[in-house]
A = this chain, B = another copy of it.
Amino acid sequence: MLNFEFKNPTKIHFGKGQLSQLPNEIPAGVRLLMVYGVSSIKQNGIYEQVKSHLKEYHLFEFGGIHANPEYEVLLQALDIIRKEKINFILAVGGGSVIDGAKFLAAAAKYEGDNLWDMLTYRIRVEHGIPFGTVLTMPATGSEMNSGAVINRAATQEKLPMGHGPALFPQFSIMDPEFIASIPVRQIANGITDAFTHVLEQYMTYPTGALLQDRFCESILQTLIEIAPRIIENPADYNTAANYMWCCTMALNGLIQKGVPADWAVHSMGHELTAMYGIDHARTLAVIMPSHYRYNIHSKQEKLAQYAARVWNITAGSIREKAYAAIDRTEAFFHSLNIATHLSAYTPDFEGAAQQISRRFIERGWYGLGERKTLTPADVEKIVEMSY
């Protein structure tokens, strides 16, 4: 097991009716900016429910933070923060809105000249405006971690922020009843996203972290168990609760401790979103199988363990079990109507591999993956395999 540091100070209020905790968690007297996405929270009533608990605050609002939160849009919200001297942010939405709030929290206190440097150089965020979240769409785990990914259309970039203690929400409200109004497509995305988050932290070389492996397998098994039920009926409260908690546990730092992490699937996937606008989760489903097949020599041990414990695949050699596990995972994504080849999403896939490889060279991104050995040339081959 590797050495690790673990601290996660976010307070979770989980369950029915937890919106009523908002006045207990947001300090009295703050100048509060509520940020949200597009129209969905107005259609499903969450917007009104949230506001009914915020009557005592000096409240400002900013809507329009779309999926893959856009730098240019966030700069508009930052203007409000500066002009209105906002000192608390409430994000109401899914991972994109929460990630956007994290960017805003950090940007408001950032002292450098160029805000985008925070992302280019993954500058650790020590100081920020405090913020809380109301999670309306589970997937990214952003409600209980210090990660955020921001999109910049002008340069076709999608880059992660540099973590740091100021990027943890003060609190997150997670009411599984909100899941009832999420479109099936988004739920399928959420399952795929959480599933891949676990894989990125699990499908690496073994370090004898027995409990972490089992926790990963627990999340994967639970996601597999609930996937057909939650897609069939998102209003099934208990299934929704399990789905929601799995997504959080997949990326709140716990399963990452003491083990190496890959994240190469995300690095490549982000490029596909930036270039083609493909849903984040679907880019992961496109890249993951090729990445694992290409790196079968270094991932086969853990893949074979995953095959046996999660998919009950016990026949064959380690290599055979490893390949069978990749096939089985693709089949699972297909069962969610998630295609696992790039050509299913865009007719313009030719050249994607070369373009992504070129970008990684430009950024100096050599040494991806848990062994930091993947080169842009490897990336080119992996993306090509995913066509």
Contact = CB atoms under 8 A, between A and B. Distances in A.
Most B Cβ at <10 Å: residue of A14, A226, A257: A14
A223 B223 CA distance: 24
A347 to B, nearest CB: 40
A329 interface: no
B222 A214 contact: yes
A249 B7 contact: no
B208 A242 contact: yes
A17 B5 CA distance: 12
Interface string A3-36: 1111111111111111000000000000000000
Interface string A163-178: 0000000000000100
A23 to B, nearest CB: 15
A15 B4 contact: yes
Nearest to A8: B8
A208 B211 CA distance: 22
Contact of A211 (B4, B12, B17, B249): B249
Given A210-B222, A238-B208, A246-B211, A5 B14 contact: yes
Contacts of A315: none
Nearest to A170: B7
Interface residues of A, number: 41
Contacts of A241: 1, 208-209, 258
Copies in the complex: 2
Given A6-B11, A12-B6, A245 B258 contact: yes
Interface string A253-285: 010011000000000000000000000000000
Nearest to A144: B6
B208 A218 contact: no
Given A14-B257, A218-B218, A258-B14, A242 B4 contact: no
Contacts of A11: 5-7
A110 interface: no
Interface-centre pick from A1, A4, A7, A238 (highest chain B CB count, 10 A): A1
A81 B13 CA distance: 36
A347 B173 CA distance: 54
A225 interface: yes
Contact of A242 (B1, B2, B176): B1
Contact of A221 (B2, B208, B214): B214
A215 interface: yes
Contacts of A242: 1, 208-211
A90 interface: no
A105 interface: no
A372 to B, nearest CB: 20
Given A5-B11, A5-B13, A214-B222, 16 more contacts: A1-B242, A1-B245, A2-B15, A4-B12, A6-B14, A7-B9, A7-B10, A208-B238, A209-B241, A210-B226, A211-B222, A211-B242, A211-B246, A214-B217, A214-B219, A218-B218
26 contacts: A2-B15, A3-B14, A3-B15, A3-B18, A4-B12, A5-B11, A5-B12, A6-B12, A8-B8, A9-B9, A208-B238, A208-B241, A208-B242, A209-B241, A209-B242, A210-B222, A210-B225, A210-B226, A211-B218, A211-B249, A214-B222, A215-B215, A215-B218, A217-B218, A218-B218, A245-B258
